[in-house]
């Protein structure tokens, strides 16, 4: 439905270079990126407010070159709402409305009825965003573009509005592209995650896939992967079994994993076991903290990677605790529930065993 191809555009200091995005009709895409990545610029090009210097934008198969914003059927909600300050809330919502029924529907859905008689200046940031959403949707656009639309809402309201947007998206089969810098939001909402940084698309795909299998170490760190180790592939397939003593000792364990796709990866003093297809030139191993378990004894589990180390830091963040364990001079970060960290009586200096499955090691 939305097909952006090889788009190049610039606005002030923001530049998009060779950006391609594909979102099927009725899809929910989430563009993730840090401030200055060009996220808003991308939305403005799709809305027709900014002319690209190269590339095409198609909506539903139609090339939009030369089609003005008012004829694109695209709704846009900016982060700062941009409600028209000289109009009442009612007049804002009705500004471009398809009909009175559409106004009533969005007013009910987003609970803005009590705000209709208020002056725009008197609304809170969250209320403004609600009204801006209602204003965009009252036009019944084919495509909805959202720029950090939930950022000014308090957490309870945010969950509720997210649900409403999701419900409307489903009910109207509304193709939606949302911009956020919040990874959690991408996972919660999107069918498609698009990582944008420095004006380029780093990676795109289903959020779970992007999180589990980052294409580059930069993406991995960008998405908050705690353990990114530099090293090299020492062998793969059957040959891996012959590489080094570590692999030979655990030979029995390979039975539960596809031996033909087993890979050995050497990173300084650590030798890691991975499994799966190795992209050519892979020089990084990524292990997410939640994939690493920490125990105080040598109890055997099926994990293919197992190292003795010493706890150097324990940091509790609410229900989760991050434990940093030094293994032969290499710090590995594990995420445990605070409850189990307490049960293990973890504290700096304690000897522990960290383990993770070969499946948890992603090479890129």
Partner 1 sequence: MDARAVSTSRLVSIAAALAGSLLLLFLAAPVIGLVGVGGAEGLARLGSDAELRDALLLTALCATAATACAALGGVPLAWLLARRDFPGRAVLAACLDLPLLIPHPVAGIALLLLLGRDSAVGGAALAAGLRIVGTPLGIIAAMAFVAAPLFVSAAREAIARVDARYEGVARTLGDTPWRAFRRITLPLAGRGLLAAALVTWARAVSEFGAIVVLTYNPKVVSVLSYDRLTSHGLSEALPVAAALAVLALVPLTLLRALRADAERVR
CB of 284 to partner 1, least distance (A): 40
β-pair type (305-317, 293-295)? unpaired
Among 25, 49, 116, 320, binds partner 1 (CB under 8 A): 49
* Cβ count near 208 (within 10 Å): 10
What's the min distance (Å) between Cβ of 143 and partner 1?
10
- Could you say which of 16, 64, 76, 201 contacts partner 1 (CB under 8 A)? 76
The single residue among 96, 187, 198, 244 that binds partner 1, judged by CB under 8 A, is 96
Minimal CA–CA distance to 211: which of 241, 228, 187? 187
Residue among 69 and 231 whose Cβ is closer to partner 1: 69
Residue in 2, 23, 37, 47 binding partner 1, rule: CB under 8 A: 47
Phi, psi of 154 (to 5 degrees): -75, 160
Count of residues making up the chain? 364
- b/e map 122-153, b = 16+ CB within 10 Å: ebeebbbbbbbbbbbbbbbbbbbbbbbbbbbb
**128 lines the binding site for partner 1 (CB under 8 A):** no
**Rounded CA Rg of the chain:** 25
**Neighbouring C-alpha atoms within 13 Å toward the C-beta of 179:** 23
Told to check if 349 binds partner 1 by CB under 8 A, we report no
- Residue 300, φ and ψ in degrees, nearest 5: -80, 130
- Residue 70 binding partner 1, by CB under 8 A: yes
131 is an interface residue for partner 1 by CB under 8 A: no
Does 13 sit near partner 1 (CB under 8 A)? no
Q: Considering the complex, what minimum distance in angstroms separates the CB of residue 49 from partner 1?
A: 4
69 binds partner 1 (CB under 8 A): yes
| Binding of residue 259 to partner 1 (CB under 8 A) | no
* Strands 192-197 and 200-205, sheet pairing: antiparallel
One residue of 85, 155, 281, 319 binding partner 1 per CB under 8 A: 85
Between 97 and 229, whose beta carbon lies closer to partner 1? 97
Select 76 or 223, whichever has its Cβ closest to partner 1: 76
Please report how the helices 100-109 and 155-171 are oriented relative to each other, as an axis angle in degrees rounded to 10: 140
**Shortest spacing between CB 29 and partner 1, in angstroms:** 18
CB of 54 to partner 1, least distance (A): 18
48 contacts partner 1 (rule: CB under 8 A) = yes
Q: How far is CA 249 from CA 180, 233, 252, in A?
A: 47, 19, 8
Binding residues for partner 1 restricted to 136-165, rule: CB under 8 A: 136, 139, 141
Q: Which of the ranges 67-75, 122-130, 269-277, 339-347 carries the binding residues for partner 1, by CB under 8 A?
A: 67-75
Q: Where are the alpha helices (DSSP H) in the chain?
A: 39-47, 89-94, 100-109, 125-137, 155-171, 183-189, 207-212, 217-222, 244-249, 338-343
Nearer to partner 1, 136 or 270 (CB): 136
Site for partner 1 contains 273 (CB under 8 A)? no
The answer to whether 310 and 351 are in contact (CB under 8 A) is yes
- Shortest distance in whole angstroms from residue 110 CB to partner 1: 17
Interacting stretch for partner 1, rule CB under 8 A, among 77-85, 148-156, 174-182, 218-226?
77-85
**Are 135 and 83 a contacting pair, CB within 8 Å?**
yes
Does 33 bind partner 1 (CB under 8 A)? Our answer is no
The two beta strands, 28-32 and 175-180, are: parallel
**53: nearest Cα among 106, 2, 11:** 11
Binding-site size for partner 1 (CB under 8 A) equals 22
The token duo for 297 is 């004894």
d(CA 266, CA 278): 14
Structure tokens at 321: 């605790």
Q: Which is nearer to partner 1, 44 or 257 (CB)?
A: 44
Given the rule CB under 8 A, which residues bind partner 1? 44, 47-49, 68-70, 72, 74-76, 78, 82, 84-86, 95-96, 135-136, 139, 141
């Amino acid at each position: 439905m939305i097909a952006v191809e090889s788009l190049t555009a610039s606005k002030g200091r923001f530049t998009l270079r060779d950006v391609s995005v594909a979102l099927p009709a009725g899809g929910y895409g989430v563009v993730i990126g840090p401030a200055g990545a060009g996220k808003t610029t991308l939305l403005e090009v799709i809305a027709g407010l900014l002319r690209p210097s190269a590339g095409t934008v198609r909506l539903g198969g139609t090339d939009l070159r030369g089609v003005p914003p008012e004829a694109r059927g695209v709704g846009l909600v900016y982060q700062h709402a941009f409600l028209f300050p000289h109009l009442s809330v009612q007049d804002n919502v009705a500004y471009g409305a398809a009909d009175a029924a559409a106004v009533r529907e969005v007013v009910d859905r987003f609970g803005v009825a009590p705000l209709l008689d208020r002056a725009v200046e008197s609304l809170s940031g969250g209320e403004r965003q609600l009204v801006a959403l209602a204003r965009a949707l009252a036009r019944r656009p084919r495509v909805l573009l959202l720029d950090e639309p939930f950022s000014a809402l308090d957490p309870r309201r945010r969950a509720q509005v997210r649900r409403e947007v999701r419900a409307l998206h489903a009910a109207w089969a509304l193709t939606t592209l949302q911009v956020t810098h919040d990874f959690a939001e991408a996972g919660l909402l999107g069918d498609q995650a698009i990582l944008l940084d420095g004006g380029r698309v780093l990676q795109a795909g289903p959020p779970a896939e992007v999180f589990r299998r980052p294409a580059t170490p930069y993406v991995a760190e960008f998405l908050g992967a705690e353990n990114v180790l530099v090293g090299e592939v020492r062998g793969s397939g059957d040959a891996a079994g012959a590489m080094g003593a570590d692999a030979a000792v655990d030979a029995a364990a390979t039975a539960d994993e596809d031996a033909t796709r087993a890979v050995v990866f050497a990173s300084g003093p650590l030798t890691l076991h991975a499994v799966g297809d190795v992209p050519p030139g892979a020089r990084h191993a990524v292990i997410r903290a939640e994939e690493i378990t920490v125990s105080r004894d040598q109890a055997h589990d099926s994990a293919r990677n197992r190292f003795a180390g010493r706890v150097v830091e324990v940091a509790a963040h609410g229900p989760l605790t991050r434990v940093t364990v030094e293994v032969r001079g290499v710090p590995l970060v594990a995420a445990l529930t605070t409850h189990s960290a307490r049960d293990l009586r973890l504290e700096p200096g304690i000897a522990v065993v960290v383990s993770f499955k070969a499946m948890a090691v992603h090479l890129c």
